[in-house]
Amino acid sequence: IDLKAAFDSVDREVLVRALRERGVREGLIERVEEVIGETKSRVRIGEEISEEFWTGRGVRQGCPLSPLLFNILIADLEEEIARGKWGGVKLGEKRIFSLAYADDIVLLAEEEDEMRAMLARTERYMDNKRLEVNVMKTKIMIFRKGGGRRKRIKWIWKGKKIEEVKEIKYLGYVFQSNGSQDGHVRDRIKKAVGIMGQVWSIGKRKFGKDIGKRTWLFDALVWTVLSYGAEIWGWKEREKVEKVEERFLKWLLGVDRRTPGYMVREELKRDKLRSRAARRAWNFEKRLEEGKGGRLAKDCLEEIKERTGKGRGVSGWEKEREEFFRGAGLEELAWNREGEGGMVEYEEVEKKDKELQREERKEKIQESRFNRWYKRIRSEGIPEYLKKGWSEKRWGRMTRFRLGNEMRESRYWESEEKKVCRICGRERETWEHVWEGCGRGEGEGEESWQEAVERILGEEGKGEEWMKECLLAAILVFQACLATPFGLKPRITDGEDATPGEFPYQVSIRWGIPPLVPLRHACGGSILNEHYVLTAGHCILKIGKLKVFAGKHHISRDEDTQQEVAVERAIVHAQYPGGVAPYDIAILKLKTPLTFNKRVSAVTLPKQNEVRTGNAVLSGWGSTSKNLLPVLPDVLQKVTVPLLDNQSCLKKFPDNVIGKRPEIFDTQICTDAVGEISACSGDSGGPLVQLENNTPVQVGIVSWGVLPCGVNRVPSVYTRVASYIDWIHDIINV
């Protein structure tokens, strides 16, 4: 029953009469009259507040005395309804007709006719108290076993229809007509999820690197909301409740949402919430057994025990309790609350339940399809790397590898295409393949993949830096080491095979992280002299190894003409910011000098700032693919393309190709699109040359273009070598 403006509508004369009828001393009544009689109010409309005015009805809002006064006003409701000898529900030897907590009132009856009689009597009672019922917010719910079939029943209050519902909330607890607790649990989950994002933000801001305190915030702020009413629903494990915590823990560790919850819990050594919820239910029952708590709750427990003892209609609540104890291996407590040795402490119950949970997790980890290697590296306690005060980014990287997020074989639900190795693109991406297949060619030592997993993924976190390199490696190798903003990528498609020795200044720059990532062609370059090679700035990475291969024609096999030289130092232009930008130029200093011959020689540089026109020749081993997946050729490719002035170049980049027009700088040069001819992934850093009296003069360095290569018929962009002649000479003449 919902009372309309309950506290504000109290008739003060009726209240005073009720105080006298309940035997309150006259002196106290006078004090109450003084308090409520001196009540003034104001009305706020928008930002304006009215003048004060005296109120003639109601008790004070926010005053601690007001709920007590209202309770006294309706204290005789139970007595009044009981006089009719109709309605109520039997509890032991008593009948309970109503539940009332201030203005939250519930009427109880076992039969339809009884409820109608109670409503009629309550209607007269409310009139006598001069209280008005809000019929729109007043509801009726009929409990039926299993929900039952509803028949149409009309419920009327003063000519107005009362709605019959399947769910109703009383004092924050959701009751359902079928007696299930699911509705309340669903309501708690909704509220907990609603505040979880805020709690996450608070933890990130206040306790950024302290994973322990950030976990504690869940317990302090989310669990308290989620667990409301656990005294009733806590005996049964609620999967959706567990998933709320698992979602938070996944956020915390930075792992994918598909990561198994049991694995996340094992990493953090977090038991399920069922233990905590059951503790609440246990403690509630224990207090009632000790004679504490509300009278009605104690009577209910006695009724449950009596029914269970006589084998009469065991309640769903009692069944959930029995299943909990059986699951915890405490069969004797399922029926006998004290067990064989007297009242058992919950610590014993909880200990057995936690042992059971650990065994459950261990078994699932052993059989996991998601992460086959976690069983090799799981720790007995919380892993040491989580105690080091690392940033969220660092512990997230470590956890993602440990829990299987960074190996494609974990995606057992995906097609085989989506599980292909990002490094070589040939086989399924597994630890065995990466370590002993894909990476073994350039590997170091005889370490097995099992030993590598245990070392890299160990709880100490020693492999974290390796993981950082590995993540970048997988991306860079797959995309030919080229990353850019707004859909632009370094980019020879529709070219033709060069003849052996046609471009003796051309080199292949190989990059890798042995033994994980073998050295593979990543960029092109041109020989400046025996000690230096010219390439693009974006080809230089902070991790991994670089080697220069000169005298090459076939990229995929060793050749008698090839010279392989390690890089001593890479010098990137100081003003190059990375990505698609000007100053995309770098010089590699070689550890040992090249030996010049017919297949290995230097390119010629143009004059400082000279402007060139006409055609130019591009060479390289870049992708010949016209889709997003790079396909590298075996033989060196070449193509002739026309140079394009920057203004004309800009006009050929329509908005619908890349979403916005790029900026072309004076230190850059373009080549026009001829059919589907273009540079592509793997050509980056390579030379664009013009022949002067059969002497190759390098005018550009491949910088960036649009993917897929060639199909959009837009220009390719190069670093203008003539803009950097002084910079180049300053370095190679040192």
The catalytic position among 433, 521, 538, 573 is 538
Supply the pLDDT for residue 149.
Answer: 65
CATH code assigned to 615-728? 2.40.10.10
Interval 486-494 mean pLDDT = 40
Give the pLDDT band of residue 704 (cuts 50, 70, 90): confident
The catalytic position among 103, 353, 584, 672 is 584
Q: Is 24 left (phi over 0), alpha (psi -120 to 50) or beta?
A: beta
Mean of pLDDT over the chain: 86
In sequence order, the β-bridge partners of residue 667 are none
Judged against a pLDDT cut of 80, whether residue 628 lies above it is answered with no
Give the pLDDT band of residue 452 (cuts 50, 70, 90): confident
Supply the pLDDT for residue 682.
Answer: 54
Judged against a pLDDT cut of 90, whether residue 519 lies above it is answered with no
Give yes or no on whether 501-590 and 615-728 have one common fold.
yes
Instruction: Confirm if 216 and 206 have CB atoms less than 8 A apart.
Output: no
pLDDT tens per residue across span 469-478: 666 555 544 4
- Write the CB contacts of 50 (distance below 8 Å, at least 6 apart in sequence): 42, 43, 44
Instruction: Confirm if 728 and 605 have CB atoms less than 8 A apart.
Output: yes
pLDDT tens per residue across span 334-347: 555 555 444 567 88
Torsion of CA 469, 475, 479, 481, to 10 degrees: -20
Can you identify the CATH homologous superfamily of domain 501-590? Answer: Trypsin-like serine proteases (2.40.10.10)
Percent of the chain with pLDDT over 90: 55
Interval 515-530 mean pLDDT = 86
- Write the CB contacts of 584 (distance below 8 Å, at least 6 apart in sequence): 536, 537, 538, 573, 576, 701, 703, 704, 719
Supply the pLDDT for residue 497.
Answer: 92
| 684 included as an active-site residue | yes
What secondary structure, in 3-state letters, does 100-133 show? EECCEEEECECCHHHHHHHHHHHHHHHHHHCCCE
Supply the pLDDT for residue 273.
Answer: 95
Give the pLDDT band of residue 309 (cuts 50, 70, 90): confident
Token pair, residue 234, equals 């806590």
pLDDT tens per residue across span 340-399: 444 567 888 888 889 999 999 999 999 999 999 999 999 999 999 999 999 998 999 999
Supply the pLDDT for residue 473.
Answer: 54
pLDDT tens per residue across span 90-101: 988 889 999 988
Report the amino acid identity of residue 303. Answer: E
Give the pLDDT band of residue 306 (cuts 50, 70, 90): confident
H-type helices in 40-172, by residue range? 65-73, 77-83, 112-129
Supply the pLDDT for residue 623.
Answer: 62
| 538 included as an active-site residue | yes
pLDDT tens per residue across span 112-154: 999 999 999 999 999 999 999 999 999 999 988 765 566 778 9
The catalytic position among 368, 625, 684, 716 is 684
- Write the CB contacts of 288 (distance below 8 Å, at least 6 apart in sequence): 297, 298, 301
Interval 17-45 mean pLDDT = 91
| 554 included as an active-site residue | no
For residues 268 and 276, what is the distance between their CA atoms, to the nearest angstrom? 17
Hey, where are the domains in the chain? 12-176, 180-370, 384-477, 501-590, 615-728
pLDDT tens per residue across span 204-234: 999 999 999 999 999 999 999 999 999 999 9
Number of H helices, E strands in the chain: 24, 27
Token pair, residue 12, equals 């003060």
3-state DSSP call for residue 288? Answer: helix
